[in-house]
A and B are shown apart, each in its own frame.
Chain A
């Protein structure tokens, strides 16, 4: 079991239509369902000022449902990295009145928020909703490498190979949870690995 949650651990809400001139959505996989649910509550014409950036993932579902909302712009990309230049440009050119909505896995929400923070948007002004996998993005505190899609406790750092305790301590700036060597005091102690962040 993971330790009980702590204050730096992000808390996610439920997307709801915000007053604004433009609406930018970034979502992956089942995050699309959060956008559909928002659409059911949105005023008529809401998506005429919307831009959806969607990373469907391997099964490629939900694309048609999002297209059916008829957003002003719709993009689907294979990975978050491929969507990143578009997201950065959109934020760089944004004016007052842009609202940002993030939905899907924690890794997607965290990385999109990281870009938004760098563009000067306050994190409390961003709508978020967690859907889908609980897989974590972790920073190894020792080698500083980021390991994506961590589902186990403990987890092996994909860079330096140390066995890491995945903490709840979270950095918005790094968009990552902290990983700390779990057997630093005695390497011969190998705790059992459990899949807990599915």
Chain B
């Protein structure tokens, strides 16, 4: 049911989402515009407690370095001591600033760089043997509120997750995460499902996107129901000793997913056999039966090969 599926975050095959450790894809400009719209409507999606500014600079450095490394045609970072110049060609940005001086950027360092980076970002402060959710940019989340959870420790913000506390999942995960070393990031995958290709499935807007769940019919499953996979990575930050936790979301509609027979078979079995508490927590209950019925027609009962790649 649950696994602590954490592995080293190392570069993967060319052309995959793991080709670079911070993935920039064809949705970059659109996702950054989507983020700007969400923030204009609800600025509380981006918050940083006062002691987290240094960690924000750490994150700015990490994301500028990684994006410039992976995509030199799009991003260029030049440094002369603390005088930095950042060029972001897709968004038409060319800014010179002083690293460490917040007055030289139009936003705080975390907000500045995460308005230019795909995925949500949580910055965790490490103290008292725990991790504290003390800063974040969260506009593409699966039903959790940064505004409510900011300032909580690792166990508190995971409190609503069913069954996992009892199984000791969070105790083990915390032990692993508090020992992450600089230059050795780790990753895991998480998943849920989303109706329509919507990134902002926040609790703040639940009353706006929730009704979509009641619109799933046997005829529109393939187009409306999406598997949402989160690539979560964990990085030690050098100056603040914080951990940054990017949550990068990918959506694939059922019609696309079932083009790989292995994926169709496996997803059918996963959704069918999911414990009810988890199905409820993931918000599948209202359309689960419709989805299982639709997927069952694509499951011939043959085994699926190991790993998540296609056959």
Contact = CB atoms under 8 A, between A and B. Distances in A.
A41 interface: no
Interface in B279-309: 286
Given A174-B148, A185-B211, A141 B165 contact: no
A7 B207 contact: no
Interface in B82-122: none
Contacts of B165: 7
A171 B152 contact: yes
A186 B151 CA distance: 33
Nearest to A177: B148
Contacts of A180: 203, 206
B156 interface: yes
Interface string A133-173: 00000010110100000000000000000100001110111
A139 B145 CA distance: 12
Interface in B159-201: 159-160, 165
A167 B148 CA distance: 12
A6 interface: yes
B227 interface: no
B214 A178 contact: no
A129 B306 CA distance: 53
Contact of A7 (B150, B156, B213): B156
Nearest to A143: B204
Contacts of A174: 148
A141 B145 contact: yes
A94 B73 CA distance: 57
B211 A181 contact: no
A196 interface: no
Interface string A103-147: 000000000000000000000000000000000000101101000
Chain A contact residues, majority secondary structure: loop
A184 interface: yes
Contacts of B214: 185-186
A184 B206 CA distance: 6
B159 A171 contact: no
Point out which of B44, B148, B149 has the most chain A C-beta atoms below 10 A from its C-beta: B148
A11 B155 CA distance: 14
Contact of B211 (A9, A144, A178, A184): A184
Interface string B208-237: 001101100000000000000000000000
Interface of B: 44, 145, 147-152, 155-160, 165, 203-207, 210-211, 213-214, 286
14 contacts: A7-B159, A7-B165, A141-B206, A142-B205, A144-B147, A169-B148, A171-B149, A173-B150, A173-B152, A174-B148, A178-B148, A178-B203, A181-B206, A186-B211
Q: Closest 10 interchain pairs by CB?
A: A184-B210, A8-B159, A7-B159, A6-B159, A173-B151, A8-B156, A185-B210, A184-B207, A181-B207, A141-B203
Given A142-B206, A185-B211, 8 more contacts: A7-B158, A8-B159, A9-B159, A169-B159, A173-B151, A173-B152, A185-B210, A185-B286
